Each structure stands twice: as C-alpha cells, then as structure tokens.
Amino acid sequence: MASDMYPKGLQAFLAGDIAWKASSADTFKVLFIDASYTYSAAHDYRSDIVSSRVEATSPALTALTNTSGVADASSVTTTSVGSAQVSHLILFKDTSVASTSPLIAFYDTASVTGLPLTPNSGDVTIQWHASGAFKFT
C-alpha cells in the first residue's frame, strides 16, 4: 500500500473544520503504528485505529506552514518509543477525544525512509520530506 490521505480528513480541510497554520488552535500529532494495521479509506477518526496497534504518539507538531498547497511542519521527536516494530505513521488532528480526532494522512514503508523501524525504547525523530508532510494537488 502506498501512502494516502484519509477522505474524511480531506473533507474536513475543505469544510474549514481543520486549519493547518501556525496561528491555529488545531493540534496535529503522529501515531506510530505496527504492521497489523491496514489502511482503509473508511477510517475517519483516531478511534478507528485499535489502540494495541499504536506504539507511540508524537508531541504536537509545531511551526506549521501552508505554502503553495504544501503542508509542512518542524521535525518532531517522540521520546521513549517502545521496542515493537513500527511500519506506518498516521497524521491526525488531536482533539483530545479519539472519536472526534480526524485522521489526515497515512504513511508507509514505500514512502518513508527508515520504515519499518524497530525502536529501542529511545527517541525517534520525524523529519518531514523537503516537499512537506503532504500536498493538495
């Protein structure tokens, strides 16, 4: 499976329910997911991701930019990522309630350098590609 966007997340952007910008009150995070998860366009919210598949959750992304349709952010370091293999990353808007936190983007081994990753309970830094976290095309 190649990386993809979640349709409901895109819909939320278009409806104005998600604002990707530095001055926004919206909080964005990344889930580190194990190999048992399979992307589904029908997954809408954080609650659609079974908790046992989540190896770690990043801190909030910072320095959000949105230039020429490209969403970007500063690198983010997640501390104490367990030792289970991480095969996917999922970007989501964190509302602090899983059933209302929309999924935005799914990243897999085909498009992320360093995945799969077998952490050693240490820190893991996500450094976004030079072309950003995702792009509206």
Listed by start position, the domains of the chain span 4-61+79-122
Give this prediction's pTM. Answer: 0.93
Residue type, 55: E
* Model pLDDT, residue 89: 94
**What is the SS3 assignment for 136?**
coil
Which pLDDT value is given to residue 1? 56
10-residue block means of pLDDT along the chain (137 residues)?
87 92 88 92 95 89 91 92 90 95 91 87 89 83
The alpha carbon dihedral of 108, 19, 28, 11 has a sign of negative
| Spatial separation of the C-alpha atoms in residues 74 and 66, rounded to whole Å | 12
Decide: 18 and 102 in contact? Cβ < 8 Å: yes
